[in-house]
Structure 1
């Protein structure tokens, strides 16, 4: 009987793990899309939800800072700092490793006044703590113009 239980576990575990990974990929992709929508509106609550307290953020300009500096900058940014920008993602890739995941994608910033798009290659490391995914490490790289 023990042998049958062990065999059943070995057969079903990969399927269970695969479905958990697929669920996490969907959850992370939705979180990314919700964040990008909120980022276009400077939604402080969405930023607070997305970034972990122990965040390490490396910007496309080569600056490194944490969540406190990011949130302080968001709160102090002028509302009229140029035309509003819509943010979207392309080529999203999600790899799940238990309670950790890596999300890589092309970030596209489209000015609402029809100006030139900006694109970045971004990657983030997410940890699931207390049943919630948050970013602990972020890397943004401005994509070279073709």
Structure 2
């Protein structure tokens, strides 16, 4: 009897972490809020809006750039110190998101998407695969972790 009790207890403790790792369904409101936060941020990044960066990036951010450099929010914001917000007619590249995919785990949402940088003058597009971990704080979704990877050039073989 005692061994059955311990076996049952062991089963419960082993099962708890497995259940916690399963993705949960997202509500329509969550999907809209996270997608809007990213799209608003990308618009702000296009016009060089420092406030958009400050609002989007969480204080404990870890950002891994497409060039392989890792830094936090303080370093990111320091790089914007002398930035001036651009009027729409002075924007040189617009940033947008394509192929957005969201996955929720507990209170966090993972976002995967293709970031597209479209050059205003030439219309040329450059793409990056972006992955972020978003958390909601006081009604605002912020990125606590972010990875940007330059999209691979297809081989000609």
Verify same fold: TM over 0.5: yes
Offset of residue 25 of structure 1: 1.1
Offset of residue 99 of structure 1: 1.8
Offset of residue 136 of structure 1: 0.3
Offset of residue 50 of structure 1: 0.2
Q: What are the residue-to-residue correspondences of 1:127-146 with 2, within 5 Å? A: 127-146=135-154
| Matched-pair contact (CA < 8 Å) for 2:66–2:149 | yes
- TM-score (normalizing by structure 1): 0.79
Task: State how many pairs are aligned.
Answer: 128
* Structure 2 match to 1:125: 133
* Structure 2 match to 1:10: none
| Matched-pair contact (CA < 8 Å) for 1:21–1:96 | no
Of 94, 109, 120, 2:117 maps to 109
| Matched-pair contact (CA < 8 Å) for 1:93–1:104 | yes
Give 3-state SS (helix, strand or coil) of 2:124's partner: coil
Encode CA deviations 1:54-109: one digit per residue, 9 max, x unaligned: 000000000000001101112235889xx711011110001122321001000000
Give 3-state SS (helix, strand or coil) of 1:144's partner: coil
Offset of residue 115 of structure 1: 5.3
RMSD: 2.2
Q: Extract structure 1 runs of 4+ deviating beyond 4 A.
A: 77-80
Distance of 1:29 and 1:49 partners within structure 2: 15
Q: Does 1:65 align with 2:96?
A: no
Change (3 A) 1:78 1:23: closer
Encode CA deviations 1:3-38: one digit per residue, 9 max, x unaligned: xxxxxxxxxxxxxx85x6221111100111111111
